[in-house]
Structure 1
Amino acid sequence: MHIKSLLFIASIIFTSCSSIKKYNEQISKLHSPQELREDVDAAYNQLKKYHPRLYQYTPKEQMDFKFDSLKNAIKTPLSSRDFYEKLAPVVGSVRQGHVSISPPNIKRSRKERKNYKDKAFAFNTMDFEYLENTLWLTNAKGKESLLIGSEVAAVEDKTPKELIEKYNTLIASDGFNKTLFDGIVGSRFTRYYLKNNGFQDSIHVTFKNTDSIFTRTILWKKKKDAKENSKDSIANDSIDKLVVKKLTKEERKAERTAERLKRKYNSKRGYIESKNEYTRTFDLIGADSLVAYMKIRGFSNGNPEDFYAESFKTIDSLGVKTMILDLRNNGGGSLDEIDNLYSYFTETPYTLVEPSEVTTRIPFLPSFVNNTSPVFLKGLAIVFAPVIITHNLLKTKKIDGTIYYRLKSSKEHKPNPQNYKGKLYVLINGNSFSASSILSTQLKATNKATFVGQETGGAYNGTVAGIMKGYELPNSKIVMRLGLMQIETFYNVEPDGFGVTVDKEIIPTRADREAKRDPEIDWILNDIKSNE
């Protein structure tokens, strides 16, 4: 029995190694024109089968022409990555930001992955902003934090302008909006760079700071080393290792209590360890510290209900009359979270979104069971298929030939008893997308706030997202990702295809960043003061 088990494990390892080798050979070779045309058809067929509003912004005739033109233009063999750069703009013509494709990357063996298990790539923790054709480093960890505020002159042998102009041809915003492009590619520069270049052992970045220009090699480091910011922290670590103190029973209990409270605190605010920051923050700012400032970086992780309950209780107890809700660079997330948040800004019952249009009565199954899903997820989906199907059938309804899925957010909800009744300012920009744009629509349509910044990257009337489906093209192994639900806002405007606009447009400049100014918040604080 023991020998059989070893043979079984060995066969799995051998099969896995063989599979990795076969996959890497597949994505590295040149694919014939016929294979690539098959992939073009496969991508378009997936869109036609599952996308509920495929021709919302681009008519079918134009879309057919774009896909046919691409097929006709493929005359010679191409690598997967070269094909990706030709296919991405065509898929982008759907004009839906949640529809995207990604080039395949070389898979690594278990041994190769083990070499990086306890390491972190500093490039992944860097945040950037693109202003006036200039890329700025806005956040970093470890020793790289000393570079914050520096201008990026080059990454390897390319200027940021060259790279961002290229990346902008490979993505789409919702509808005809323009503010998303430079903003999102700037703020997610590391993600787009690695997506389009694959795994990197190191990256050479040339920085410009005042009159000096220097090149820094960004490497993989041990996670512990990556967190060290100074010699003092290293020295303190050494002291901690030397001094071993035996704790009393009461001290151990106090330590466990402190750790539990810390976890609870981090959960409410959605702590992001890789960036050492919180998804949600709340503070009191202004000359007299009576302006509530809530920054929400995304609607995804942590325990938001407790955070909002705690924050608005504080606002109410202090009698705060002015609040700033900062949704800049918020890429979206949970509808349930924005539903909960909006309940604090209204005194009347409300509905956030309409029932969602879908193409099938069982929209969850294509999401779970597709050729990009892990084997264990497919197995779970098969086991629970009767439950999933029953749930989906109860949640969907066909009306005049169109299938609708009833989301929790499409029901009428009551305002939160702790609702805020004071003056509200909302900060938005081109990176305010998806759920953050839907929340902005609700606040805008009900005249709840003054909007400052730039038009949202997400459309006013909604987006196609909700449930996401992945699909790997058969030959090139390019992965396409698309939304399966039309998330339609309760309030619509014409023309369709544009974002939530602002009452006061403010576009940050290089001078603002060099002086470490936040012009949008400065304007709001001045506006508050002038209206006192």
Structure 2
Amino acid sequence: MFLVITSCVSIKSYNRQITKLHTVEELHQDVDHVYAKLKKLHPRLYQFITEEDLDRKFDSLKGTIDAPMASTDFYKKLAPVVSEVRQGHISISPPFLRFTKKERKLRRKDKFEFYDVAFEKVDDAFLIRDNYGLDSTLVGAEVLAVNKEPIDDLVSNYQHVFSSDGYNTTFKDRFVALRFSGFYLRDKGRLDSLELKLRHKDSIFTKMLRTIPKDSSNVKKMPKDSTVKELVLAKQEKKDEKRLDKIRRKDNSKYGFDKSKNQCTRNFRFLEQDSTIAYMKIRGFSNGPYSNFYEESFQKIASAKANTLVLDLRDNTGGRLDEIALLYAYLTDKEHQFIRKGESKTRIPFHKGLISRRSPFLLNVLGVIVAPVTIPLEYTRTHKKNGVLYYKFKTSKENKKPKELHFDGALYVLINGNSFSASSILSTALKGSGRATFVGEETGGHYNGTVAGISKFIQLPNSKVTVSFGMLHIQSPFENQEIGYGIKPDVRIVPNKENRAENEDPELEWVIKNLKQ
């Protein structure tokens, strides 16, 4: 009972803290706090901006804070300044109201239809790419306004609160649509409903998205790229179904099935009936176990004697180093070092990332308990050379051997501005080694690596605004002299809204046409 009362008091205290007006002195303290943490722990803080310029921007920010303001307003001032660092893994978020256990339980029974909608920005159009709810009629519609606010104004505002790695613009153009609902939440706070103004062909209409009971959409839908058969099962058939359900669960794990989106993270198929062109779509490198999927896929390629592989990394914003290192070992026939040793500002990045004011109390306690083991282990992974502290990854070993089932045929890689982080590191390895032909648009991730790996989360003491950033610079051995840009395609193809209206995939269609010619 005491813990429940304490928790309720803590929640009320926190909510009062984030909704009140903070003094100018408190907000200046928060500005100094985040900049000090960045200078202490970010290994490439001045890679794309000089120290003098960044100092001036933070000083100027403090100069504009001359009156008390709420946490959300402070976030809107702080985020554009931090984005000037031009490191894409830096993320800033305003605080949100907390709820009691009982309130959270009630809220879990509902869902906001807005979060089921996936957006895409092409040309000068902001489109609904998919709807993971039940209303598929919205797919393909162009968004004109949200709650009567022009979509162009919203997009322009949100592009100033985050950054790509370096100077490219493709990531900002793409990512603002990919994470639009999240940016809108940070801007407006939690809503129960909102109105979309849409255009579909020659018709302009509005659609109200509401908070609805989850049960109201609890309809069994057909998963994409698979078949569902509804059967009236006898007793024996029920046993068979139970066995098949176990197999499906295993497959869902292997392919990284995302129930909320009703699609798999990892997909493999052949594009032609004669199985000469294999197609692998990887939506991310962070969902579920993966080694069995790649072994199975490259076994199929070998068995079919396929001579071409299309690797689709569009809208793949990254994930695990181990997974991309494994995939690269299937795509090369040479011994290799996949990434260099990482650069760090601390010998104990894992420990620094684990213990944080933003982390739950029990997680911080765990960090203290495991420290006698993790800290010595981290020290064995670091060494200093020429004044730079290096961190050894498992994937930074030299003379790594290719997989026995490695693919030696023609390789095409499809990329766009949302090809970021791990997918850009993999793309750099394939581009630098001359292994693949790239089709699409410049990646959002930097050719010369990114600062990610282990993240540090900070909750600012007064405003409770949260900031996270990577603590390890991770880079392929290959390097480009053009600093601040991503992997550029050999064949540049950027889809337009006409392609989407006709359900066309111009990048993939170019590859197939090119192979036939």
Shorter-chain TM-score: what band? over 0.9
**Which residue is 2:443 aligned to?**
456
For residues 378 and 35 of structure 1, the distance between their equivalents in structure 2, rounded to whole angstroms, comes to 25
Structure 2 residue matching 1:427: 3-state secondary structure: strand
Aligned-partner Cα distance in 2 for 1:313–1:393: 40
1:360 corresponds to 2:351: no
Is 1:325 the equivalent of 2:311?
A: yes
- Does 2:262 match 1:280? no
Does the CA-based 8 Å contact 2:116-2:133 persist in structure 1?
Answer: no
- Asked whether 1:292 is paired with 2:311, we answer no
Distance 1:125 1:306 in 2: 30
**What SS does the aligned partner of 2:208 have?**
strand
Q: Which residue does 2:207 correspond to in 1? A: 216
How far off is 1:339 after superposition?
A: 0.2
The question of 1:121 aligning with 2:107 is answered: no
Deviation at 1:77, TM superposition (A): 1.3
Which residue among 339, 346, 364 is the counterpart of 2:332? 346
The match for 1:36 among 27, 35, 39 is 27
Task: Say yes or no: does 1:417 pair with 2:404.
Answer: yes
- My pick for the range that moved more, 61-70 or 289-298, is 289-298
- Partner residue in 1 for 2:84: 93
Is 2:482 the partner of 1:498?
no
2:63 is the alignment partner of 1:77: no
The answer to whether residue 515 in structure 2 is matched with residue 528 in structure 1 is yes
Q: CA deviation at 1:252?
A: 4.4
Aligned to 1:261: 247
1:329·1:429 contact (CA, 8 Å) conserved in 2?
yes
**Contact kept in structure 1, 2:275 and 2:304, CA below 8 Å:** no
Contact 1:362/1:393, CA 8 A, preserved across alignment: yes
Structure 1 residue matching 2:134: 3-state secondary structure: helix
Q: How many residues align?
A: 508
Gaps of 5+ in 2: 222-229
Q: Distance in 1 between matches of 2:125 and 2:107?
A: 32
Distance between the aligned counterparts of 1:307 and 1:161, measured in 2?
41
Taking every aligned residue pair, what percent have the same amino acid on both sides? 45
Deviations 1:236-276 (A, max 9, x none): xxx99xx8x7x53x444323311110011101110111110
Tell me how far 1:89 sits from its aligned partner. 1.1
Note the C-alpha offset of 1:446: 0.6
Q: Deviations over 1:404-448 (max 9, x none)?
A: 110011012110000101111000011000000000000000111
Query: How far apart are the structure 1 equivalents of 2:157 and 2:416?
Result: 22
Bigger drift between 313-322 and 120-129 goes to 120-129
Counterparts of 1:225 and 1:292, CA distance in 2: 40
Rounded to whole Å, the distance in 1 between the matches of 2:273 and 2:250 is 31
Shift of 1:486: 0.7
| Greater alpha carbon shift after TM alignment, 463-472 vs 16-25 | 16-25
Corresponding position of 2:185: 194
1:223, CA displacement in angstroms?
A: 2.6
**What is the alpha-carbon distance in structure 1 between the residues aligned to residue 392 and residue 188 of structure 2?**
40
Q: Note the alpha carbon deviations across 1:17-71, whole angstroms, 9 max, x for none.
A: 1111111111111111111111100010010111011111111111111111111
1:6 maps to which residue? none
Deviations 1:88-143 (A, max 9, x none): 11111111000121111111222221222233322222111011222111111233
CA RMSD of aligned residues (A): 1.6
Does residue 373 (structure 1) correspond to residue 364 (structure 2)? The answer is: no
Distance 1:356 1:58 in 2: 21
CA contact (8 A) 1:143 1:229 kept: no
Corresponding position of 2:121: 130
Within a 5 Å distance, the mapping from 1:395-474 to structure 2 comes to 395-412=381-398, 413-474=400-461
Supply the AA of the counterpart residue of 1:150. Answer: A
Deviation at 1:180, TM superposition (A): 0.6
Residue 132 of structure 2 is matched in structure 1 by 141
In the alignment, is the contact (CA less than 8 A) between 1:122 and 1:226 conserved in 2? Answer: no
Q: 2:510 corresponds to which letter in structure 1?
A: W
Residue 154 of structure 1 corresponds to: 145
Find out whether 1:517 has 2:504 as its counterpart: yes
CA distance in 1, matches of 2:197, 2:3: 45
CA distance in 2, matches of 1:289, 1:158: 49
Task: Give TM-score scaled by structure 1 length.
Answer: 0.93
TM-aligned CA deviation for residue 402 of structure 1: 2.0
| Residue identity matched to 2:360 | P
The amino acid that maps onto 1:113 is: R
Give the deviation of 1:330 after TM superposition.
0.3
CA contact (8 A) 1:324 1:424 kept: yes
Counterpart residue number, 2:4: 13
For residue 409 of structure 1, what is the amino acid of its counterpart? Answer: T
TM-score (norm 2): 0.95
Aligned to 1:311: 297
Structure 1 residues without counterparts, runs of 5 or longer: 1-8, 231-238
CA distance in 2, matches of 1:495, 1:516: 36
Look up the SS of the partner of 1:267 in the other structure. helix
Q: What secondary structure does 1:221 align onto?
A: strand
Give the superposition deviation at 1:488: 1.9
- Structure 1 stretch displaced more, 16-25 or 205-214: 205-214
Q: Distance in 2 between matches of 1:192 and 1:139?
A: 18
